[in-house]
Amino acid sequence: MACWLNGSAINELSLLERGFAYGDGLFSTMAVVNAQVRLLDLHWQRLLRGCQRLAINTEHFEHWQRDFLLFLQAYPHSIVKIIVTRGEGGRGYLADPRAATNCYFYAYPALNNVLAHQQGIATGFLTGRLGLSPLLAGMKHLNRLEQVLLRRELAQTIYPEALVCDVNGKVIEGVFSNVWLVTNGQLLTPKVHEAGVEGVMRSHLLALAGRHGLSASEAILMPDDFIAADEVFFCNTLNGIWPVRQLNSTILGNNPITQYLQQQLAYVR
Amino acid sequence: MACWLNGSAINELSLLERGFAYGDGLFSTMAVVNAQVRLLDLHWQRLLRGCQRLAINTEHFEHWQRDFLLFLQAYPHSIVKIIVTRGEGGRGYLADPRAATNCYFYAYPALNNVLAHQQGIATGFLTGRLGLSPLLAGMKHLNRLEQVLLRRELAQTIYPEALVCDVNGKVIEGVFSNVWLVTNGQLLTPKVHEAGVEGVMRSHLLALAGRHGLSASEAILMPDDFIAADEVFFCNTLNGIWPVRQLNSTILGNNPITQYLQQQLAYVR
């Protein structure tokens, strides 16, 4: 693992980092192949939108983007995580307006077996529920304790990924992916305005489907909508699309639209 | 500012700290006077309960407590923050079960003017709403982005502290304090099972009131309950009790029960 902070390699974090004290920041994770990241613009756009919602200073945004190209050259086959935090601070929630934003790049070893689950997985519903937080919903922020607890619950199942509902019983996402269903030829993914993450691959698929003449939209979806669906799949930028072959005890049949999207993604890559 | 990790002074944090990556931990803040911390047992008990809920390993809990006594000798007049995290990890939400829990002690300069607001403050309601997360509610965990945003909103008001509601409109707490009302001689504080922090001073007052023949309990409370109350006050372990003299445009009159509790706390200290 290697890390750069604001363009320079570092070995440790500041004790004053507000990302540590309060999770006061955002992140985005991506695969690097031949020093390239697909959908990189969408990752940066999401980080920028998140900073704007959190009022994190982005005056050096173009600097971060330039430094990142150097980082990709240094770690051309890797998994990279960009973390942006409000920077250093003392005790107390109130940030020093003079604090300088910190932009970290972490490089991890590349994944080996991303393809296995692209043939399809069995899945089900977790019992842990996502909270509702309109102030934070949609952002890939550093407050990820719910995901830590849900990932732990997932590890106790036989599923590689599973569906998670919010406290009102609406389906929101997987533990580390977004989720889609197909019904009557129409693609639907849960709204993430109360809970959940606006994933980069989710955003990409919303746009991609439209360009390919498919109907794709956000909706309020309940577990029964997924159980009755023609096709179900998870997506994120690291794993692409994981089709669901079995949901609880229900075997899903042909998944032509899921396969079509998988083919389009392979082309994009 | 000084920091110890697991009993030894440190100058920086590990890049692998899960407290940074995910806010995967808990904290508690307290005033140190003459190397003493009042209600210290309640702080440790809350940290222990939080670790149990998050499945963070506490096998060295007694070690942390012994180290902390040395830390108090080293920083006998200070504000101290204890942070407990799940320790180091790689990429991904799933923790390594072999990861060693990290226990940090931070020492900050002592507060100077804690007494001013103990004479009473003006307050009101913030517009930002707390989310509902039964998985996390009550704990003083490191996922504090909502508080960061609310603290920012508070700084744009004339209030030193303000009331915060959840997304359903129930009053939950202040930005950095718990809140109480007194009506017909009865003390009530909001339940924190869906949102909010189970503050150490809140727990202490629940028990203290009982020992002094006062009725004190948790309840679901709406803004109108506070506006109609005989007395209202905020509490936390750093600031003690801040009586509310004015809530929105309502002037509150005599506050005999609040003053009685303030006297009892001064005695405890």
| A8: three-class secondary structure by DSSP | strand
**What share of chain A has pLDDT > 70, as a percent?**
98
B81, B91, B167 ranked by CB distance to A79: nearest? B91
More confident residue, B34 or A116: B34
Mean pLDDT, chain B, integer: 96
Q: Is the pLDDT of residue B50 over 80?
A: yes
> What is the pLDDT, as a whole number, of residue A114?
67
> What is the pLDDT, as a whole number, of residue B114?
67
Cα separation, B113 vs B118, in Å, equals 10
A230 close to B (CB below 8 A): no
- Of A111-115, A193-197, B194-198, the one with minimum mean pLDDT is A111-115
Interface touch A93/B144, C-beta < 8 Å: yes
Q: Is the pLDDT of residue B57 over 50?
A: yes
Residue A17's contacts (CB-CB under 8 Å, 6 or more residues apart) are A85, A87, A88, A102, B13, B20
Cα separation, B241 vs B267, in Å, equals 13
CB atoms within 10 A of CB B260: 13
Would you say A23 and A133 are in contact if contact means Cβ atoms under 8 Å apart? Answer: no
> What is the pLDDT, as a whole number, of residue B14?
98
Domain ranges in chain B are 2-109, 116-268
The ipTM value here is: 0.96
Q: Is the pLDDT of residue A269 over 50?
A: no
Compute the Cα dihedral for A66, A68, A71, A76 and give only its sign.
negative
Q: What count of CB pairs under 8 Å joins A to B?
A: 184
Angle at which helices A200-211 and A40-54 cross, to 10°: 120
Give me the CATH code for the B2-109 domain, please: 3.30.470.10
Residue B12's contacts (CB-CB under 8 Å, 6 or more residues apart) are A12, A13, A14, A15
Cα separation, B256 vs A162, in Å, equals 54
- Of A167-181, B21-35, B103-117, B179-193, the one with minimum mean pLDDT is B103-117
B23, B106, B128 ranked by CB distance to A143: nearest? B23
Return the exposure string of B67-92: e unless at least 16 CB atoms fall within 10 Å of the residue's CB, then b.
bbeebbeebeebbbbbbbbbbbbebb
Give the bridge partners for B128, in sequence order.
Answer: none
Closest residue, chain B, to A11 (C-alpha): B15
A208 close to B (CB below 8 A): no
**pTM score of the predicted model:** 0.97
Interface touch A144/B22, C-beta < 8 Å: yes
A175 close to B (CB below 8 A): yes
Using a CB-CB distance cutoff of 8 angstroms, which residues of chain A are in contact with residue B14? 12-13
Q: β-strand B178-183 against B231-236: which pairing, if any?
A: antiparallel
B15 close to A (CB below 8 A): yes
> What is the pLDDT, as a whole number, of residue A267?
57
Interface touch B144/A176, C-beta < 8 Å: no
Interface touch B13/A12, C-beta < 8 Å: yes
Evaluate whether the domain defined by B116-268 bears CATH number 3.30.590.10.
Answer: no
Q: Distances from the Cα of B7 to the Cαs of B37, B63, B65, in angstroms?
A: 18, 9, 10
Would you say B7 and B214 are in contact if contact means Cβ atoms under 8 Å apart? Answer: no
Question: Where are the extended beta strands (E) located within B137-219?
Answer: 164-165, 171-173, 178-183, 186-190, 215-219
Interface of A with B in 51-70 (CB under 8 A): 54-55
B92, B131, B141 ranked by CB distance to A133: nearest? B131
Q: Quick one: average pLDDT of B164-180?
A: 98
More confident residue, B115 or B55: B55
Cα separation, A61 vs A67, in Å, equals 10
Q: Quick one: average pLDDT of A165-192?
A: 98
Q: Quick one: average pLDDT of B99-112?
A: 94
Interface touch A152/B16, C-beta < 8 Å: no
Using a CB-CB distance cutoff of 8 angstroms, which residues of chain B are in contact with residue A79? 91
More confident residue, A268 or A130: A130
B28 close to A (CB below 8 A): no
Give the bridge partners for A106, in sequence order.
Answer: A3, A81
Q: Give the N- to C-terminal CA distance of chain B in Å, as an integer.
A: 24
Query: How sure is the predictor about A266, in pLDDT bands with cuts at 50, 70 and 90?
Result: confident
> What is the pLDDT, as a whole number, of residue B267?
57
